[in-house]
Homo-oligomer: A and B are copies of this chain.
Amino acid sequence: MLHVNENYSKIQASYLFTEIAHRVAAHQAANPGAKIIRLGIGDVTEPLAPAVVEAMHKAVDDEAGREHFHGYGPEQGYAFLREKAAEADFKARGVDIQADEIFISDGAKCDCGNIQELFADDVAIAVGDPVYPVYVDTNVMAGRTGKNEGGRYSGLQYLTCNAANGFVPSPASLDPAQPKPDIVYLCYPNNPTGAVATLDQLQEWVDWARANKALILFDAAYEAFIRDPAIPHSIYECTGARECAIEFRSYSKTAGFTGIRCGYTVVPKGLMAYAADGSQVELRPMWTRRQTTKFNGASYITQRGAEAIYSKDGAEQTKATIDFYLENAKLVKNALKDLGYTVAGGDNSPYIWVDVKGSSWDFFDKLLKEANVVTTPGAGFGRAGEGYIRISAFNSRENVLEAIERLKKTL
């Protein structure tokens, strides 16, 4: 008799964005004429950079003839992309990351989920609260938690991110009554709160991880939105981070690749974990094995498109698009402040985190029904997200201005 992985049954019935989609669809069905503006799910709306479009057309043509045809590529990604990412994303900022420490993939979501296959079933995990649900759900599916009670899974340590700590918890906030985490997920600029961490705040986590033989899984999917020169873009800007951190990067928001699918994971040489007998095991060869066995590389066309982000034109064009989204964020943030709301995020991030002084889902429903504006209820990201909504700056200027007008009328 074929037995299932029963950990799946622990997962809450509905993925957050599925539930939102249902409510939006029901509202649209009941109000066919309503022009709904979506500031919910963090999906980009602006076209790809012309340099990327040109590179992908060329790559399609490569596949149209024998001479430049590319079949199976390296599972870790093509050198042309790994080398440019190492140069522009790290070396140019004085950070020591080499091309062969960069593993190209079809997206950071996949890598965030797949990375935990490298670790023992009983490693202890800590996550922020609120949190990007993928960190939690993938560990639930792998059996590293107990059941969900009151919105939290037993066996998982939640680090509350709130106004009191500026939405950036420190290692001092770890609960000594719970097992010491072996893995801590950090995400800055943060999804969903839009908070950024200073170099000192990240260094605290790196020092803690080194001292405790723990690992930081650092999600830098939104680093391109950082405009404050004092804010670190990479965990590897911290001293010693090569010894205790894996970093995820994404071209989804950086370059509008949500439909194109590309990102990468950095696993430094010499980064160690431990066998049960206490002997050291290097993680980079394990990730190489995982990717070569269960993945076949990102599309050649996609990788050529990603390469073009690093060209002079591509870099300028993608920066201009991010500047555009950041201006959207500023408009929304200022409008909500003017309406008397306490607002976080939105400066070095496409997300605005609004204290709604009440139920997240009630506020979500109010904005949906009265303003035809879709947001994301903070409670969907965790218990500590209750009382907030996340507003995404990914939309056209016209829609953002229209949404602001409607919010002013409704609130």
Which residues of A does B touch, CB under 8 Å?
1-6, 8-9, 11, 15, 18, 41, 43-48, 50, 53, 56-57, 60-61, 63-66, 69-73, 106-107, 109-110, 113-114, 117-123, 133-134, 137-138, 141, 182-183, 213-215, 256, 258-261, 273-276, 278, 281, 283, 286, 289-290, 292-302, 396
Contact = CB atoms under 8 A, between A and B. Distances in A.
15 contacts: A2-B123, A2-B182, A3-B122, A47-B63, A57-B57, A63-B259, A71-B256, A106-B261, A109-B296, A133-B293, A137-B293, A138-B293, A141-B289, A261-B296, A299-B302
A1 to B, nearest CB: 4
A4 B134 contact: no
Nearest to A111: B294
Given A8-B289, A57-B57, A296 B2 contact: no
Contacts of A72: 41, 43, 258-259
Given A43-B71, A60-B57, A295-B110, A141 B290 contact: yes
A14 to B, nearest CB: 10
A62 to B, nearest CB: 9
B71 A294 contact: no
Nearest to A396: B66
A121 B118 CA distance: 16
A364 B274 CA distance: 38
